[in-house]
Amino acid sequence: MAGKLLKIGFIGGGKMAQAMAKGFISAGLTKAESIISSCHPSDIASAKAFKDLGAESVFENLPVVEKSDVVIVSVKPSVVPIALDEIKRSNIKTDKLFLSIAMGVSTRQLEKMLPSDSRVVRAMPNTAALIRNAASVFVTGKNATEADVEITKNLLDSVGTCEEVPEGLLDPVTALSGSGPAYVFILIEALADGGVKMGLPRDLAYRLASQTVLGAGQMVRDSGMHPAVLKDNVTSPSGTTAAGLHFLEKSGFRAALIGAVEAATVKSLEVSQETETLIEKSFR
């Protein structure tokens, strides 16, 4: 579909769907009038958000599939079987790309819930899609084509960066980049609290802490240098950075972050297993 503006539908119109829609429009991949979302009748705010973009918003899922080239499944895992079963039981043509961002729902499960020839891709963006700076990964289903991969990359790159990975890595990815922004938010808050303790005004401390994290992250991403090398470059003998790093090491800073990713991975695996059980029950 190179050069063609995509018709994009969202089954579920929450914050992530809204962020992705804005990114797709800003990147020129589609226009607002080529976007449609379905929202629960009680979710007036999400419906209004899409209408404010100039997109269409409905309270049914089937029109979303009918009008779209790409259908993005962006509902809670427990809702996925209900939404997709409705599609499977209908006579709607499913010659679409189904791109799911529902946590814990595997490509195998998605394919089972859709007509047998459906083309499926599973993706995991993170909350920074809201500012078009997400770290996303994706996994292709058995029927997905090279064109589907290209479309997926274009869509996800429009709201940040993306990489294709084996599906077995989705749980640790969820723990690292999916949950990771929360860890960084705590880091920024703690850095600012330290600055305030030492006399900085609160607003200045937050500005400095957030810009420091932003700049350091960009240096790691863009320089190609190992983080340890960059760390050594700012650590002078007997200097302030060395003193601060020593305190972090004594306090178990690295171990805490490693443990956070491990704990979140375990939780993600549990959610995936619970979701699989829920989906299997829905087919009995």
Query: 25: annotated binding-site residue?
Result: no
Query: 252: annotated binding-site residue?
Result: no
Query: 224: annotated binding-site residue?
Result: no
Query: 11: annotated binding-site residue?
Result: yes
Contact present, 77 and 102 (Cβ < 8 Å): yes
Query: 13: annotated binding-site residue?
Result: yes
Annotated binding site for NADP(+): 11-16
Annotated binding site for NADPH: 61
Annotated binding site: 11-16, 61
